[in-house]
C-alpha cells in the first residue's frame, strides 16, 4: 500500500505540547513523509496566523485547515481558499448564554481574534496561541453592529473550568439546535462554529479539490474536535494522551504526543501497516 496522498495532523496535544516545540522525531518523520510524496496538512483550532509559523518551521507549503475547519488557507501564499462562518444571529445567542454563565469570551473574524477584556484566562490563552488580539470596547457590538473584516464570525470561543465546560456543552447545544456545533477543543475551551465548519468537512473539501479518495486520506489527532476528520479519513490515529472520544473514534492508538506519536503513525503509514 502506498502512503496516503494527504495526511492531516492536529497541532496542540498531537504534534506540540505545552512547550509549543515540535520534537525532532516528529520533525524528521514529517520530512520523510513529504519526501515520499505525501502532503502534510496541519489541522488545528488555531488562527491561520498562529499556525502558519509551525508550517514554515516544518517546511510545509500546502493547505492548512484552521479554526477547527471553519477556514482553509494556503501556507505558502497566505490565501484563504474557503471559509464557513457562523451565522451572526446564532453567534449572538451563544455569546449571550455563555457570558451570562460566567465564561471568558472571544470572537474570531477572518484571521483576527477580538477581545474586550484581558483577565488571567485571556492572558494564558494568548501565551499559548501567540496571537496579538484586537481589543474592542464591547465584543457584543461586533455581533449586533457592522462586523469587522470581509466575512462573518468564524467562531465563538469560551474559556472556563473543565467541569464548567463539560456541563455547559449539552445545555448550549440543546439551545442552539441544528444551527451550530458546540464542542470541547481542549479541557477548558468550549467552541461554537457553523455545523459545516469541522476538520472533517475541511478534509473532505481538500480531498475533493485534489481528486482524492478515502484511502488517500489519513488523520492524526488527540481531541474531540478531531473525531470528524477521523471519520472522513481512510486511516486514523489517536495519540495515547487523547480524549476518550478521540481514542474511540480512531482506528489505531499510537504513542503519546511527547513520545513520538506522530512519528509512529507516519511510519505505520509508510510501512503499509495502518488499519484502513
In the block, residue with C-alpha cell 505558502: 76
pLDDT of 124 higher than 80? yes
CATH class for domain 6-83+197-270?
alpha beta
Q: Per the structure block, which three cell numbers stand in for 73?
A: 488557507
Residue 275 pLDDT: 56
| Alpha helix segments (H runs only) across the chain | 24-35, 48-58, 88-100, 120-129, 139-144, 162-176, 199-210, 227-232, 244-249, 261-270
Question: 192 near 182, Cβ under 8 Å?
Answer: yes
**Start and end residues for every CATH 3.40.50.1000 domain found in the chain:** 6-83+197-270
Q: Enter the pTM of the model.
A: 0.92
pLDDT of 50 higher than 90? yes
How does DSSP assign 169-206, residue by residue?
HHHHHHHHGGG-EEEEEETTEEEEE-TT-SHHHHHHHH
Percent helix / strand / coil, the chain, rounded to 5: 40, 25, 35
pLDDT confidence bin for 20, thresholds 50/70/90: very high
For 66, the 3-state DSSP assignment is: strand
Average pLDDT over residues 74-97: 97
Residue 273 pLDDT: 74
**Start and end residues for every CATH 3.30.1240.10 domain found in the chain:** 88-193
Average pLDDT over residues 266-272: 94
CA distance linking residue 226 with residue 97, whole number of Å: 25
Average pLDDT over residues 79-102: 96
> How many helices and strands (H and E) does the chain possess?
10, 14
Residue 185 pLDDT: 81
CA distance linking residue 170 with residue 168, whole number of Å: 6
The string of pLDDT tens digits covering residues 186-240 is 889 999 999 999 999 999 999 999 999 988 999 999 999 999 999 999 999 999 9
Share of the chain above pLDDT 70, in %: 99
Average pLDDT over residues 126-135: 87
pLDDT confidence bin for 14, thresholds 50/70/90: very high
Q: What topology does CATH give the domain 88-193?
A: 3.30.1240
More confident residue, 148 or 200: 200
Residue 41 pLDDT: 98
CA distance linking residue 76 with residue 56, whole number of Å: 8
CA distance linking residue 11 with residue 17, whole number of Å: 8
Amino acid at each position: 500500500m502506498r502512503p496516503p496522498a494527504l495526511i492531516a495532523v492536529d497541532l496542540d496535544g498531537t504534534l506540540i505540547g505545552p512547550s509549543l516545540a515540535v520534537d525532532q522525531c516528529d520533525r524528521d518523520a514529517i520530512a520523510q513523509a513529504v519526501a515520499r510524496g505525501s502532503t502534510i496538512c496541519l489541522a488545528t483550532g488555531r488562527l491561520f496566523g498562529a499556525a502558519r509559523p509551525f508550517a514554515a518551521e516544518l517546511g510545509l507549503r500546502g493547505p492548512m485547515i484552521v479554526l477547527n475547519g471553519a477556514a482553509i488557507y494556503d501556507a505558502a501564499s497566505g490565501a484563504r481558499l474557503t471559509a464557513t462562518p457562523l451565522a451572526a444571529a446564532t453567534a449572538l445567542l451563544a455569546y449571550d448564554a455563555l457570558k451570562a454563565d460566567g465564561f471568558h469570551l472571544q470572537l474570531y473574524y477572518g484571521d483576527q481574534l477580538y477581545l474586550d477584556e484581558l483577565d488571567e484566562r485571556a492572558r494564558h490563552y494568548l501565551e499559548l496561541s501567540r496571537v496579538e488580539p484586537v481589543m474592542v470596547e464591547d465584543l457584543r457590538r461586533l455581533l449586533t453592529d457592522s462586523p469587522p473584516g470581509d466575512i462573518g464570525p468564524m467562531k465563538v470561543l469560551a474559556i472556563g473550568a473543565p467541569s464548567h465546560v463539560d456541563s455547559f456543552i449539552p445545555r448550549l447545544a440543546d439551545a442552539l439546535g441544528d444551527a451550530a456545533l458546540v464542542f470541547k477543543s481542549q479541557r477548558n475551551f468550549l467552541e461554537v462554529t457553523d455545523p459545516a465548519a469541522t476538520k472533517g468537512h475541511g478534509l473532505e473539501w481538500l480531498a475533493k479539490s485534489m481528486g482524492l479518495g478515502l484511502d488517500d486520506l489519513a488523520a492524526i489527532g488527540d481531541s474531540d474536535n478531531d473525531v470528524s476528520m477521523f471519520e472522513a479519513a481512510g486511516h486514523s490515529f489517536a495519540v495515547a494522551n487523547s480524549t476518550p472520544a478521540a481514542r474511540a473514534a480512531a482506528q489505531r492508538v499510537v504513542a503519546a504526543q511527547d513520545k513520538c506519536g506522530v512519528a509512529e503513525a507516519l511510519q505505520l503509514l509508510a510501512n503499509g501497516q495502518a488499519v484502513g
